[in-house]
Structure 1
């Protein structure tokens, strides 16, 4: 998820690109602009070995700023967290745990962007407020993995992220 400090150059983003082009035809800037910055993909997820069911916890990757919901080292995150997933069109089908609100997942499924998405509102403050009201953002709702043992993570399952 992009840091709040980085934003794609507007010249690299075509108007209403998400409505006009398939995901595999987007520029890097357009692809990055789809991320709403919810932080859900940065939460520790637990997968049942028997059913493959995935549950979210409120435990966040050590690079996630739990107050803002932004990655503190987005550009170089893989150097710090080698197993951090770089989301691509090719792997979307293999990530059923992405939240139902995720722009990548929604567009992949032929759905529209949610009304609160920054590409729709064009207002960061309004988008952040609406995301929080709709239980989308993890900002202020998570704790760093550096503060929770692996054993205790199993006790921190949350149910407010819809898959």
Structure 2
């Protein structure tokens, strides 16, 4: 039996979350806003250190969040119904953690109480990525990174 004082993400399934609860699970790391390359042979996804033009690379978060799906047709709309398909999400991503029944990390803003904790823990991309305008698409392979998770 789950204790009554359990956090909402421990008491509810992803599909039971309100929109506000769903949005609050995002830790603001920015890794989902990076260009990713998929190995055609293995299906493995490789992150680059090249960010979408709309990612605020210093503050974190999308500068055009409400219009992102229109402005960037390849932008993926994470939904409770589809999150189990997103194995490309970082292992630290709260959506992935909750979907897999694992706890959030201590640095997650819902645990720490601070939106800065993800940055202080070195999990976010803040200050560590290039804008897509700086990197030609044909050079993306040269920008593959392996984030410590």
Question: Which is worse superposed, 52-61 or 67-76?
Answer: 67-76
Gap change, CA 1:98 and 1:150, over 3 Å in 2: same
Could you tell which deviates more after superposition, 83-92 or 97-106? Answer: 83-92
Identify the residue that residue 110 of structure 1 maps to in structure 2: 101
Larger mean CA deviation between 32-41 and 153-162 belongs to 153-162
- Residue 8 (structure 2) pairs with residue 17 (structure 1): yes
Which shifted more, 102-111 or 72-81? Answer: 72-81
Q: Give the equivalent residue in structure 1 for 2:38.
A: 47
Preserved contact between residue 109 and residue 116 of structure 2 (Cα < 8 Å): no
Given the alignment, which residue of 111, 114, 122 partners 1:120?
A: 111
Which sections of structure 2, spanning at least 5 residues, go unmatched? Answer: 1-5
Kept in 1, the 8 Å contact 2:28–2:118? The answer is no
Aligned counterpart, 2:28? 37
* Inter-partner Cα distance in structure 1 for 2:132 and 2:114: 31
Given the two structures, how large is their TM-score scaled by the length of structure 1?
A: 0.83
Give the unaligned 5+ runs of structure 1.
1-14
Question: Is the 8 Å Cα contact of residues 69 and 140 (structure 1) preserved in structure 2?
Answer: no
8 A contact 1:121–1:127 mirrored in 2? no
The aligned runs of 1:88-107 (5 Å cut-off) are 88-107=79-98
Corresponding residue for residue 148 of structure 1: 135
- SS of the equivalent of 1:45 reads strand
